[in-house]
Every structure is written in C-alpha cells, then in structure tokens.
Structure 1
Amino acid sequence: MNYRHDYHAGNFADVFKHIVLSRLIEYLKRKEKAFRVIDTHAGAGRYLLAPKDQRDTRGNPPEWVGGIGKLAGWKPQGEAAGLLAPYLGAVFGNGANQKALSEYPAEYPGSPLLAMELMRRQDRLTACELHPEAAGKLKTLFAGNYQARILTLDGWLVPGAHLPPKEKRGLLLIDPPFEDAADFGRMAEAALRAAKRWQGGSLAFWYPLKHPGPVARFKQMLRESGISDLVYLELEICKRETPPVLHGCGMILRHAPYVLEGEMAAILPQLAARLEAAKGQGRWRYERLTAE
C-alpha cells in the first residue's frame, strides 16, 4: 500500500468526511442504548501535520493548509454553528490546536480517534488496519482503552465476517485509499454484503471525485444492487481539470438520519465557500440513489 494517511491528513476530503461522520454519531447518541462504530481502513488514528511553509517536490504546501487550515478561526453562521460544534470541538479542543495550525506543526485526528472523542462511555469502536506500521501506532494510541478493539486486518473482510456487532446499533465506515480503480467495485460488493448482514446498521462509504467514469459506474452498480435507502452527498472545491485532479469527494450513506439532509443544507453551502480553491468554485449536492 502506497497511500500515506499522514500526507493527506486534514485535507478538504478529511474535513468533509469527518463532518458527516460527526453528524452520524451525534444522531446515534440520541438514544441511550449503546452503539458501535466500525472503521475498516482506520490508519494510524492521529497525525502530526507538517509545517505550513513546507513544500513538496512540486512546490505545493501540505494538503491540510487547504483543508482544516481554512477552518482555524472560522465562525460558522446560523444553524451550522451548532451542527459543526462537535467536529470543531474534537479537532480544535480548547483552542491550542487552532493556534498551533498557524504557528507550528499540529495534530489532526483520524476517523477512529474522532469517533472516540464523540462517543459516550457505553459506546464501542472497532478499528481495522492492515499496514503494520499504522496498525502499531493505532494500537499504541488506544492502549488500555476498554472501549476500543483494534484489529490488524484487511478491512475488506469486515462486511463478510464481522457483522453485525453485538450492539446491533451503529455505523460501518469504509474509507479505502483508492489506489486502484477496482476499489469502487470492492466497495459496491462490500456494501451489498454489509446491507445483507447488518440490515439495521448505518453504512457510510467515502469516495474521491477525480475520474468521472468510475464514479458513475459505482453509483450505477449500487442502483442495480437491490440495496434500499441509499443517498449520496458530494462536495467539490474546484473545477474538473485535465489531467484529472482530486476536485471533490463524496459519501454514500445507507439509513441516513432523516434530519441529515436539512443539516447538510445548513452546513455545506458555508463549508463549500470556505474550502473552495477559487471564489464560486465550491459546490455540493445531496441526492437519493435508491428508494427507502
């Protein structure tokens, strides 16, 4: 695996994914009964961000500068302020990390750590990571945490072998590296297995917007899969270019909370305007993929 979570940590795609994740977890918390979050491609769990003046071989700054870096000091307006508070609080805490983003390398939480920050004592986390170095860091991060189960495991095996969890309630997050276009097919197959084995579970699948063909085929596979109650939401921060660049990302959700569409309508216009590469290029959409 060549994908480097640490290189991409905190970029606009992480921000989008983690805001959606935070809203899904907040909805699960509305009921007192415990739930489980299962993260199939968990990474190391926490990342030290490079100094903002550091440049790669192409002269580009770290990716977080165009992501979480743009949210430092941000004051969302209206309903979005309350909806974003759990995510911003988990990332920036008491403000020290916010200050650090402008002065020196700061940390950014991966999906499993963000989930744990938002969960209650009765809730549980299963985080899977196959890469030995990342898995080792993940185990160290959660050492002694009775709420977390860390597995050195190929995340693609989870939908067929580790569902449903004993809590019955919860969320499955599949966020592969997409080093290979075949990941779209694997994700469609994983969605079908997960929907069959965990009919009441919430499912979330992240994907990149770079090559339009694979994304269109992925959505079509899901439409034809027989899986009910799928929606998708997408965020674009710049225009599609040739040769292709990552201009946005999306998430497919099963059993999305009934309030989520309204929440995204409050959040995403402001987020798109905050993260867009140039004025007027930020766009978003929330659409149903299959019937309930």
Structure 2
Amino acid sequence: MLSYRHIYHAGNHADILKHLVASQVCRHLTKKEASFFYLDTHAGIGLYELNSDQAQLNQEFSTGIGKLMSRADLPEPLEHFVSIVKTLNPDNKLAVYPGSPKVVDHYLRLKDKMHLCELHPNDFPLLAALFPQKRRANVVKDDGFLAVKSMLPPPQKRGFVLMDPPYEVKQDYQKVVKALEEGYRRFNQGTYAIWYPVLNRRQADDLLNAVQRTSIRNTLLLELNIRGTETKRGMAGSGMIIVNPPWTLENEAKRFLPYLVEILAEDSDAHYQLRWITPE
C-alpha cells in the first residue's frame, strides 16, 4: 500500500514537532567539527508547494506553521526553525514548506552526507530532482527500514536517523521498533528519532511500551496533542521518540511544548507529554 501522500498534511502540527526536533538535533551535531551522516527512511518529496490542489484541500498548514510565521514571542528553538521556513519564503508569503530532508539540508556542510529513501512512485522522482548531487545526498527508491541495516554504521562515526513511516499499514508499528533495535545494535552512538501519530491513545501507548521493552537507554519522549486523544476526529497529535537526544533538548522542550499547546490547541483537552521512556 503506497497511497499515502504527505502533501495533504504538509506544515501541520505534526510536521512542526517532527521538524523542530530534527532542527535541534542537527544544530547539536554541527556544533562539532566532525562530519555526520543523516538517514531518512521515509523522506517524501522534500519540499511542499502549499498552493497545490492537494495542500489546499484541507489547508492543514494554516492551523500549523501558518500560526507561527508572524509571532514575535517564539521560544528560541522554535524561532530558529521558523527562520528556516522563512528563508524558503523570502517574500513573507507562505508558499512552500520544507520536509525533513530540506530541514536537514539547511545544516549540511560539505563533509556531511544524507541518504534519503522514498518508495512512493510519484514522490521518488520529485525528491531525486530536489537533490541531484549525489555527493550531497544519495536518493534511493528503497525500503527505508532495510536501509537501517544496510547503511549503518556510517563511515562518519556520527549520525542521525529519522524514521517516520506513514503507519497506513499496522505492521509499520512493529517494523519501526525492529528497525530501531537493528540500527542501535549496529550503531549505538547514533541519534534515532521515531515519529508516530496519535490516532488513539491505546495504539500510541502500545508503540511506546514496545520501545520501552527494547531496554534501549537514554530514550526521550516528546508528544504534542492539539485536542483530546480519545476523540474520533483523525490525528489528535503526534510524538517523537528520541534515542541519544541532544543533552539540551529536554530543557528546551519544557519551553516549546507548552507554547505549542497554547498556540495550536483546538480544544481544552490539548496537552503534551515530556518524559524519559528509559533514562541514560
């Protein structure tokens, strides 16, 4: 099943959390001179045209990134991320939104390398056209879960792996945990981030419990819910499971998660989670 197209959801609340975390991880990695490797298991098209018919259908960006573009009170990590989006929209009109490859590309130095996986037959050529230089980014039409095994450990010795499958098939919930275990076994010093949707509380908690059972240490949870998680109105929120997070991320999240709840909330049951699944 390859029906999922992220263009319908680009720039929504889940994207903000995912890409804010990716931005902070990359900021941390680039504080050191040593090169790093980035693996994106489900890269999408990399850059989303918000005036497209698909993005305009529900205009999810208007209740996500659109609410943050003109605010002057953003917490510093969020301000820095929004500045990346503004750089891509120099006329101050929100026309495009960066996917995770484009967010990471903002930080990439000549010595760093991206490996971007995308299986969707319509999305892969768009991603490949966005990153035509193989020295900068290796774009492959491949199963990203398998790439965790084939591409790790990287020669750079430092790395960031983002796994954000669409979860349109339930097996993705099991596959992402197995991929985390495989990646960590091969490359335990890397930073791993798993994005997941909160469609209902039980399903999300089952994933969190499965990650906890791996006994992988130093695993932080950030979750943002813009409405109550027991409603049946689609995705109430999303979360990021981060293994070996930047040491500053927990304290940063104590500021930006409450802020995002306040600004993006759709009902009075909006809330966040910030806790260690397993401590260091």
Residues 285/243 of structure 1: CA separation in 2 closer, same or farther (3 Å cut): closer
- Out of 69, 94, 98, the residue aligned to residue 72 of structure 1 is 69
- SS of the residue 2:232 aligns to: coil
- 2:87 alignment partner in structure 1: 93
The residue identity in structure 1 corresponding to 2:192 is L
Q: Alignment RMSD, CA only?
A: 1.9
Contact 1:40 1:128 in 2 (8 A): yes
Q: Note closer, same or farther for the CA distance 1:55–1:18 as it changes in structure 2 (3 Å cut).
A: closer
Aligned to 2:36: 35
1:282 matched to which residue of 2? 270
Q: CA deviation at 1:190?
A: 0.9
Relative to structure 1, the CA distance from residue 282 to residue 244 in structure 2 (aligned partners, 3 Å threshold; closer, same or farther) is closer
Shift of 1:95: 5.6
Residue 85 of structure 2 aligns to a residue whose secondary structure is helix
Cα distance change, pair 92–19 in 1 and its aligned pair in 2 (3 A): same
Q: Distance in 2 between matches of 1:55 and 1:169?
A: 39
Distance 1:95 1:108, change over 3 A: closer
Distance 1:160 1:210 in 2: 29
Deviations 1:253-275 (A, max 9, x none): 10011111011112111122111
Query: Does 2:153 correspond to 1:164?
Result: yes
Paired residue for 2:262?
273
Q: Tell me the distance in 2 between the aligned counterparts of 1:150 and 1:273.
A: 38
In structure 1, C-alpha distance between the alignment counterparts of 2:222 and 2:156, rounded to whole Å? 27
Q: Structure 1 length normalisation: TM-score?
A: 0.89
Change (3 A) 1:173 1:94: closer
Residues 51, 159 of structure 1: alpha-carbon distance in 2 compared, 3 angstrom cutoff: closer
- Name the CA shift for 1:281/1:149 in 2 (closer, same or farther; >3 Å): same
**How many residues in Structure 1 have an aligned counterpart in Structure 2?**
278
Q: CA deviation at 1:62?
A: 1.2
User: Structure 2 CA distance, aligned partners of 1:92 and 1:281?
Assistant: 31
* Other-structure match for 1:24: 25
Query: 5 Å matches for 1:86-235?
Result: 86-93=80-87, 96=90, 99-101=92-94, 106-144=95-133, 146-235=135-224
**2:200/2:230 contact within 8 Å kept:** no
Note closer, same or farther for the CA distance 1:94–1:133 as it changes in structure 2 (3 Å cut).
Answer: closer
Say which SS state the counterpart of residue 278 (structure 2) adopts. Answer: coil
Give the Cα separation in 1 of the matches to 2:88 and 2:126.
25
Confirm or deny: 8 A CA contact 2:201 2:230 kept in the other structure: no
* Cα distance in 1 for residues equivalent to 2:79 and 2:12: 19
Matching residue's letter, 1:216: D
> How far, CA to CA, are the matches of 2:193 and 2:232 in structure 1?
29
Residue deviations 1:236-260 (CA, integer Å, cap 9, x gap): 1112344352111001110011111
Report the Cα distance in structure 2 between the residues aligned to 1:164 and 1:149, rounded to whole angstroms. 16
CA contact (8 A) 2:50 2:56 kept: no
What is the TM-score normalised by the length of structure 2?
0.93
- Which structure 1 segments of 5+ residues have no match? none
Query: 1:40-94: per-residue Cα shift (whole Å, max 9, x none)?
Result: 1001111101379x974xxxx31111111111201235xx23x223311211117
Q: Secondary structure at the match of 2:106?
A: helix
Runs of 4+ in 1 over 4 A off after TM superposition: none
- Structure 1 distance, partners of 2:239, 2:121, is 28
Q: Which structure 2 segments of 5+ residues have no match?
A: none
> Aligned to 2:93, what secondary structure does the other structure show?
helix
CA distance, structure 2, for counterparts of residue 94 and residue 194 of structure 1: 33
TM-superposed deviation, 1:226 = 2.6
Does the 8 Å CA contact 1:175/1:207 hold for their aligned counterparts?
Answer: yes
Distance in 1, Cα, partners of 2:79 & 2:199: 30
Deviations 1:176-229 (A, max 9, x none): 011022211111111111110111100000000112222222122122213222
Measured after TM superposition, the shift of residue 165 of structure 1 is 1.1
